[in-house]
Amino acid sequence: MRFADLFRLAGGNLLRNRTRSAMTLIGIAIGVAALFALLSYGSGLQRLAEQEVATLELYNTFRVTSTPNPVDSFADLSVRAVEADTTEPVPLTDSLLAEIAALPGVLAAYPEVAFPVRVQANEREVFAGAEAVPLAFGAFPAYQPTAGAFFETETDSSLLIPRSMAERLGFEPAEAAVGETVTVLTATLDYAKLQRALFSFGMGMQSLPIREQPHTLRVAGVLPTEGQALSGFVRLLVPLGLAETMQKVTFFSTLDLVTRGPATDGYAAARVQIENEDDYAAIKSAIESEGVYATGFREQFAQLDRLFAIMNGSLAIVGLIALLVATIGIANTMTMNVVERTREIGVMKAIGGEDGTVQRLFVAESLLLGVVGTVLGLAFGWLVTEALSAGVIAYLDRIGVPPVDLFYTPFLVVVGIGIVTLIVSVLAGFIPARRAARIEPIEALRHA
């Protein structure tokens, strides 16, 4: 029997019981749609992280410290071995950073300065994380303002803010913020309160010895949002020289305090930005030859990729469970078809139908269910992800957050879903097909 005739006969057999076939197709479609949506979500989150890292040039960035990084991997959050280090830490001084900056292929070597702030303008206030950057970063597209200009000097009393932050501060349109002044509040130590606590004879402090320090800064420009869906919401930039003169505390949480390790002279940490990724290994070796520790963001993001792989695998397992339920539905449908058509199978075999032909007919029916169910499921899954994405974007827009596309489905994932669904469909129909092929004609013709 030709394949065309085989599938035409299989389609006609499925249409005999439209209700049962339709219910089976719905089950397959739901399973495929669930798998599609879950994998799209995992891939979307991974794409967001990768875009952010690439846009901000973090793949070519080192973090330099005088002591080893206390948390080198995700495993260290569980348990890590404590090793005694008797070597004297090399302080991160301006002279050392100047030596590192002079290495071939290094674009900039500068102290790491990041601190929490509150920004006020137009009787509104937003929380943000301020980051100090050198003038060399003006060459990167991610740091080039879409309105206004990059810093002119290291000590400009100005800042760069993302478009969403400008809008949340009441500037409409966001470009209207350029040239305006805003108040930036930093947290700094209240030495008077700290002194009173020291002389309170162990009575302790009722509150932290912290006070706010206001800074009036001019908005130099509005940053682009492309490829910065995460950092573009809470991150603002200030010139490196200005940041070093601002009174501030640099920890964002108590976790920062417990992971910093022992205090050393010089800066707590520094950043090194390289020009070409081909020089990555050579520059890292040259930095560590100075007696300091260089941690590449590239290695850290490789660990993040492994975390995403685990998450995507977990989401795939959840989706496959839904697909397994649909597979059971296919097996049940095909078993019922064999039982109801026992007499018909006997007639086919009595007039010369071979066992293989009967088996292929029922496998074709299950395969046809899988093909139609896969197409419907992929279409349904796409509609679901598009609807969810539109809902998320609308909600984020309402609260002033840049749009974030949480769903992304690579073509290979779609192909993989289709292949897996077709395989399980064939397997689900194989056992009932084998049962149909083994039916004896005489016994089948006696079947009522």
Beta strand residue intervals within 268-393, DSSP E: 270-274, 293-296
Q: Are 371 and 422 in contact (CB under 8 A)?
A: yes
Are 205 and 265 spatial neighbours (Cβ–Cβ below 8 Å)?
no
72-130 pLDDT, tens digit per residue, is: 554 555 555 655 555 678 888 989 999 999 999 999 999 988 888 999 999 999 998 89
Tens of pLDDT, residue by residue over 411-427, are: 998 999 999 999 888 88
Which tokens belong to 44? 């979307």
Residue (of 178, 182, 191) closest to 214 by Cα position: 182
Whole-angstrom distance, CA of residue 314 vs CA of residue 319: 9
Q: How confident is the model at residue 217 (pLDDT cuts 50, 70, 90)?
A: very high
In DSSP terms, which residues pair with 186 in a beta bridge?
117, 213
Q: Which residues pair with 158 in a beta bridge?
A: 218
Q: What is the pTM of this model?
A: 0.75
Coil, strand or helix at 306: helix
Tell me, what amino acid is at 387? A
* Category of 189 on φ-ψ map: left (φ > 0), alpha (ψ -120 to 50) or beta: beta
pLDDT tens profile 137-179:
988 888 899 999 999 999 899 999 998 889 889 998 989 999 9
Give the per-residue pLDDT at 76: 53
DSSP state of 174: G
Mean of the per-residue pLDDT values of the chain: 82
- Residue 80 CB partners (closer than 8 Å, separation 6+): 72
For the record, the structure tokens of 117 come out as: 């702030």
DSSP conformational letter for 336: H
- 300-345 pLDDT, tens per residue? 777 777 888 888 888 888 888 888 888 888 888 888 877 777 777 7
How far from 161 is each of 259, 270, 281, CA to CA, in Å? Answer: 29, 23, 34
Greatest mean pLDDT among 79-83, 186-190, 233-237, 351-355 lies in 233-237
Q: Output DSSP code: residue 75.
A: G
Per domain, the residue ranges of the chain are: 3-52+306-446, 60-296
pLDDT computed for residue 83 by the predictor: 59
Q: Is the dihedral of CA 11, 17, 18, 21 positive or negative?
A: negative
Strand order across the 293-296 sheet: 106-111, 270-274, 61-65, 293-296
- Model confidence pLDDT, tens digit, residues 58-81: 888 999 988 876 555 545 555 556
| Nearest CA-CA partner of 416 in 328, 312, 306 | 312
pLDDT value of position 365: 84
pLDDT at 434: 81
3-class state of residue 81 by DSSP: coil
* CA quadruple 301, 307, 313, 317: dihedral, nearest 10: -150
Question: What would the two tokens of residue 407 be?
Answer: 């769903």
Instruction: Tell me whether the omega of the peptide bond preceding residue 173 falls within 30 degrees of 0, making it cis.
Output: yes
Confidence band for 198, pLDDT divided at 50, 70 and 90: low
Neighbours of 404 (CB within 10 A): 16
Query: Which positions ≥6 away from 74 have C-beta within 8 Å?
Result: 303, 307
Query: What pLDDT shows up at residue 242?
Result: 92
Helix/strand/coil for 411: helix
- Determine whether 197 is exposed, middle or buried from the number of CB atoms within 10 Å of its CB (0-12, 13-18, 19+): middle
Question: What H or E segment, with its residue span, contains residue 19?
Answer: helix 18-55
Q: What is the DSSP string of 103-128?
A: STTEEEEEE--EEEEEEEETTEEEEE
Tell me the pLDDT tens digit for each residue of 257-270. Answer: 555 555 556 788 89
Across 95-200, the runs of DSSP E, i.e. the strands, are: 106-111, 114-121, 124-133, 147-148, 158-162, 181-189
Residue 387's CB is within 10 A of a number of other CB atoms, namely 10
Strongest mean pLDDT among 59-63, 403-407, 430-434: 59-63
Strand partners, 267: 92
